Amino acid sequence: MRPKRVLILMSNTGGGHRASAEALRAGFLACYGDQVQVDVIDLLIEHLPWPLNWLPHTYTFLIKDTAWLWKLLWQTSNHPMTIRRLSMIVARWGERDVTKVFASYAPDLIISVHPLVQEFSLRALRHMRRRIPFVIVVTDLATAHPLWFHPAVDGCYVASKEAYQRARRAGLIPEQLHLFGLPIRPVFAQPTASREELRRKLGLDAQLPAVLIMSGGEGVGPIAQVAEQVNAELATPDGPVGQMVIICGRNQHLQERLQSQRWVTPVQLCGFVENMDEWMAACDCIVTKAGPGTIAEALSSGLPIILSGFIPGQEEGNIPYVLDNRVGVYRETPAAIAQTVSEWFTERSEEFEQMQFAARALGRPQATRQIVESIGELLFY
């Protein structure tokens, strides 16, 4: 029997959409093996005509260098009706190209993990000879933009009560909605080795507490300043009271800059890593921007979180999500971040231990399996 074909639509804006797409692909293979074939494509960059295919490239520039402009764009488009009318107009340009893509992949089901592909896809699906179910897996945690939510979908998977309410306000009904958590890679659900074993494997000191410092797939924000302050704060006359793992993601410039630096605290410096589950399992806490993917993975790994910043708009709601659930803190300056890491490592306060416990309780490492099984009901029955 021919395997069922699942087509996952994403775009490489940030690291989260690709990570979620890969998590779902791994989840389908784990659940259904060779009964499914999963293709992941960047619909916007690889398949839309100019200038639509150029829009995603502006994202990194906007969030890195003109965050105020990104915030303005996000806020002015944050109204379900206005944004739907606008996206209907834009989607007409890409309709023919998207129809061709769907015809060539001939999927049995389509999953979107990106807010900009819904309108293009649903327009194109009207031209297909057979009905193809279309579902959305929202990869934002709390503050999901109205562009995510299209009332014509067969299912919509959200990761928090906040996102559920936003979907309801955008016109989706409870029968369309599922709340399981963010799809993170299945490896986060099954730790492979103990912390000590992982530390040895990754070249870390087996005993010293470790802080993971990162900021999304692109390595945006003040990672260098945070690392410098933590480096100074963890060094004491009796030796270091902790060690650092710095993950620069795709920010090569940052990695080169940090490589040439002198450190007094033990440090492991990485570019883009594929084994984030191992790095998280080897560490005691994390400093990160309020990226949904990283927060969900950190929770599943039981890591208390120090939020160092956020992308305006879609990540703002993740700050109260972390604070209200008592799984971390928000610190505005590198000096304050470094001080908190040092306090956590030297005092091992009850608050820190409660955060570890609360993180594990809030994390949903099984979310990917639950989402895949639920989508499987549309695919196989």
Residues forming the site for ligand UDP (CB under 6 A)? 14-16, 19, 214, 216-218, 247, 249, 272-273, 276, 291-294, 297
Strand pairing of 235-236 and 210-214? unpaired
123 vs 176: CA distance, rounded Å? 19
Nearer to ligand UDP, 176 or 251 (CB): 251
First to last CA, the chain: 15
Minimum CB separation from ligand UDP for residue 327, in Å?
15
Nearest CA-CA partner of 294 in 219, 243, 371, 349: 219
Q: Which helix (H) or strand (E) holds 282?
A: helix 276-282
Nearer to ligand UDP, 204 or 247 (CB): 247
CB of 288 closer than 8 Å to CB of 219: no
Minimum CB separation from ligand UDP for residue 22, in Å?
9
Nearer to ligand UDP, 119 or 315 (CB): 315
Minimum CB separation from ligand UDP for residue 214, in Å?
6
CB of 10 closer than 8 Å to CB of 47: no
Nearer to ligand UDP, 83 or 254 (CB): 254
The β-bridge partners of 139 are none
Beta strands in 180-278 (DSSP E): 210-214, 235-236, 239-240, 243-247, 267-270
Nearer to ligand UDP, 19 or 124 (CB): 19
Minimum CB separation from ligand UDP for residue 317, in Å?
13
Minimum CB separation from ligand UDP for residue 285, in Å?
16
Minimum CB separation from ligand UDP for residue 240, in Å?
24
Question: Six-digit token pair at 33?
Answer: 């093996």
Nearer to ligand UDP, 15 or 312 (CB): 15
Tell me which residue has its CB nearest to ligand UDP: 291
Nearest CA-CA partner of 135 in 374, 364, 380: 374
Minimum CB separation from ligand UDP for residue 18, in Å?
7
Is the four-CA dihedral 352, 356, 361, 367 of positive or negative sign?
Answer: positive
Question: Six-digit token pair at 133?
Answer: 């179910």
Nearer to ligand UDP, 186 or 292 (CB): 292
Question: Six-digit token pair at 108?
Answer: 């049995």
